[in-house]
Amino acid sequence: MRPALLLHFEDESDQAARIAAAAGIATACIARHRFPDGELKLRLPEQLPPRIALLRSLAQPNEKLVELLLAARTARTLGATQLTLIAPYLAYMRQDMAFTAGEAVSQRIVGSFLADLFDAVITVDPHLHRIQTLGEAVPVPRTVVLSGAPLLADLIAQRRPDALLIGPDEESAQWIAQAATRHGFDQAVCRKVRHGDRHVDIALPAVTVRGRAVVLLDDMASSGHTLAQAARALLAADAASVDVAVTHALFSDDAGPLLWQAGVRQVWSTDCIAHPSNAVRMAPAIAAALQ
């Protein structure tokens, strides 16, 4: 059964309205107050139906995780028995093992934290490396993983119908394959050697890019350095143009100028994270997952 109510925070009211309209359910905004000492006070509706969903995309996640703790625990006391988290972007999924002694494995810790609060999780393109399913990271009874790649492919087919899709690194291969298969795009994947958060080397794939409209496609972009380096290499190899399509527009403040300086023409993203580049809406797919 679908939830009867979608709870959300004020800064995500627009996305909540789109999801609720597509799913045919009501919405309610969680009131949020910050005390002078930085602590939060939340206020939910006085009574809740047994089945509810809570929308919170987890970009800039640290304070939002506290919000989820307060909101979910309170919802249980107000009548909710089945809680579904809608996290279009799911944070802390990258660190899935300790690479050096003493490192916190954040995926395991945050995944267990969310599993203690919710009965189901719906997300889009979680950044998973060495595990096969979201349920291994967030052990709840039901997980739904959606992808922005097919919808981005539809947009690319309209804007760049003869595009060559290229992934900026090996990890992007799964999303490149989804998008390419949907419209029969040519595809290839770069090889990346990372030396730090903002220092990477890119090796182009062994395909001809001369005269091609190339679209770099990936699940997320944060600093923009990997995409910028790939774009510069592609244009140096005589690509006709380079655009970028990503599910999660995590872009840091200097990422946009970095991409423009590298010669990127357009940037398209889904609305999993609100950003000026948003060109694809995930609400219909999320609403369908709620049914």
Are 69 and 172 members of one domain? no
Sign of CA dihedral 97, 196, 254, 228: negative
Are 34 and 62 members of one domain? yes
Beta-carbon contacts of residue 14 (< 8 Å; ≥ 6 apart) = none
CA–CA distance, 107 with 239 (Å, rounded to integer) = 38
Q: What is the CATH number of the domain that holds 234?
A: 3.40.50.2020
CA–CA distance, 117 with 140 (Å, rounded to integer) = 9
Are 54 and 165 members of one domain? no
Are 9 and 117 members of one domain? yes
Q: Is residue 276 part of a domain?
A: no
CA–CA distance, 47 with 43 (Å, rounded to integer) = 11
> Residue 2 has what pLDDT?
85
**Can you give the residue range of the structural domain that contains 25?**
5-147+281-290
Are 55 and 138 members of one domain? yes
> Residue 83 has what pLDDT?
98
CA–CA distance, 99 with 146 (Å, rounded to integer) = 29
| Residue 189, strand partner residues | 167
- Both tokens of residue 83? 């809680």
Q: Is 64 annotated as catalytic?
A: no
Are 42 and 114 members of one domain? yes
**Whole-angstrom distance between the N-terminal and C-terminal Cα of the chain?**
6
Are 139 and 154 members of one domain? no
Are 14 and 129 members of one domain? yes
Q: Are 146 and 198 in contact (CB under 8 A)?
A: no
Are 263 and 165 members of one domain? yes
Q: Give DSSP secondary structure letters for 219-235.
A: EEESS-HHHHHHHHHHH
> Residue 195 has what pLDDT?
60
In order along the chain (291 residues), what is the average pLDDT of each group of 10 residues? 93 97 97 96 97 97 97 97 97 82 90 97 90 91 96 97 93 91 94 66 89 95 89 95 96 87 96 95 96 84
> Residue 194 has what pLDDT?
66
Are 213 and 250 members of one domain? yes
Given the residues 108, 127, 192, 225, select the one marked as catalytic. Answer: 192
Are 285 and 249 members of one domain? no
> Residue 127 has what pLDDT?
85
Are 95 and 131 members of one domain? yes
**Number of separate domains in the chain:** 2
> Residue 209 has what pLDDT?
93
Nearest by Cα to 59 from 127, 120, 105, 3: 127
